[in-house]
A = this chain, B = another copy of it.
């Protein structure tokens, strides 16, 4: 119902303001030079989160940038790196949108890059793998859509900041103001887990109030189409240790007699999952409803490139319990990310090892909170006959309990966030993007991965969606990170549509 209502509303708006997509596109086309120059200037400031001096230069630069583009800008100091905050009120607006981007980037290993300095951007006439020419951007009059800028944070996450201020300019040039009040938070610690975001709420709560948070981060769907994401899975990381003899014992002298902790760990892990990849820990999937017809339609509408992905990974078929990727992402996981016991290969010795260790990550969905799933896992281990300990067992514990294990929490939990696919704000955003680009965006009910902003969303309490703006093949977090200019220019249209929702 809401979809229909929103659709009519947006259609009405679109007719009032003219065809927004082409209007913004035309403006971007004739302002390529200024837009790209502003991006290049921003990329030239090194932005590793731990580099405090350069982080401050970024913050000052971006505060000034927001100011130049019509925002009231300020730096919000935290115990870590400052948040760059921008505010723009629109007379008569009844809605406030809070945009979130981040200005820090992943650490760099310059030797691994195919350019002298990840902070001296390089413009290439295409994707590096095709060995295109490089171009001096100062001499370029036009920027083709397949050209790419190579630099740290080209995609993750400085392009979206430039896309946002460019969209504001594009609307202004068309004599349009945003339809909503606009707030912007630029985080300086996202790649370090955003530790200062939640603590900042108590200090700056009034500034952060909004009706919808729009996270401009991450890549669009591999089809290149505009993409809207309603959530992201959370994560809990744990280490499971099964204890054997105090130190390794001779596998000949005692084999068959002294229990082997690696065999026991294998049996314990095997008890947690069936052969189809479904978790058998009691209650693990509790509370997860079947998708509604609307959600089912959304999941089924995501373009399916699973054949290509499986080929790229060298995997014949996915888990039988979750044959479709989008369905697989709607459930929590129990993933063994590492195993260790004594040695394999050249260092292997004929022993019964003293312990066996599994590193596990549990991806969470909205309905499954970290504390609960970890408690259920703990109960499962106990039901397999294990005494759970909090540290290496002492003599007394060893003498009393035949099976001893430890489940240790590794990193702080990050719960999932997910905005209802029928949330009115989110639906309005989807319709605005649909209108601007002429067809519905790819809509993902949830990302499979985890975003550190989730606790911030949780704490603020209003809905959030992710609107990614850059190409999927951007080498995010790796060397030779890049942004494809056509995808970036299209992103400006997408942000303009969001501003007009």
Which A330-353 residues have C-beta < 8 A from chain B? 331, 333, 335-345, 347-353
In this assembly, does A497 line the interface, its C-beta being within 8 Å of a C-beta of chain B? no
Q: What separation, in Å, do the CA atoms of A72 and B271 have in the docked complex?
A: 65
Stretch at the interface among A20-28, A159-167, A231-239: A231-239
Q: Do B259 and A318 have beta carbons less than 8 Å apart?
A: yes
Interface string of A443-482 (1 = CB under 8 A from B): 0000111100000000000000000000000000000000
Q: What separation, in Å, do the CA atoms of A315 and B353 have in the docked complex?
A: 13
Q: What separation, in Å, do the CA atoms of A265 and B349 have in the docked complex?
A: 20
Residue in contact with A267 in the complex, picked from B254, B273, B352, CB distance below 8 Å = B273
In this assembly, does A249 line the interface, its C-beta being within 8 Å of a C-beta of chain B? yes
| Given known contacts A252-B448, A256-B331, A345-B239, A337 and B353 CB-to-CB distance under 8 angstroms | yes
Residue in contact with A256 in the complex, picked from B277, B353, B356, B393, CB distance below 8 Å = B277
In this assembly, does A401 line the interface, its C-beta being within 8 Å of a C-beta of chain B? yes
Q: Do B255 and A338 have beta carbons less than 8 Å apart?
A: no
Q: Do B322 and A256 have beta carbons less than 8 Å apart?
A: yes
- For this chain, the copies found in one complex come to 2
Q: Do A273 and B263 have beta carbons less than 8 Å apart?
A: yes
In this assembly, does A372 line the interface, its C-beta being within 8 Å of a C-beta of chain B? no
In this assembly, does A328 line the interface, its C-beta being within 8 Å of a C-beta of chain B? yes
Residue in contact with A259 in the complex, picked from B267, B319, B358, CB distance below 8 Å = B319
Query: How big is chain A's contact interface, by range?
Result: 35 or more
A9 to chain B, nearest CB (A): 34
Q: Do B337 and A348 have beta carbons less than 8 Å apart?
A: yes
| Given known contacts A318-B258, A325-B257, A339-B340, A249 and B313 CB-to-CB distance under 8 angstroms | yes
Residue in contact with A270 in the complex, picked from B270, B345, B350, B352, CB distance below 8 Å = B270
What residues on B are CB-neighbors of A183 within 8 Å?
none
A-B contact pairs, 29 of them (CB 8 A): A235-B350, A237-B348, A237-B350, A239-B344, A251-B361, A252-B447, A252-B449, A254-B313, A255-B328, A255-B448, A256-B277, A258-B313, A260-B335, A262-B339, A263-B270, A263-B273, A263-B277, A265-B266, A265-B339, A266-B269, A267-B269, A314-B398, A316-B398, A337-B342, A337-B351, A338-B348, A340-B343, A340-B345, A344-B359
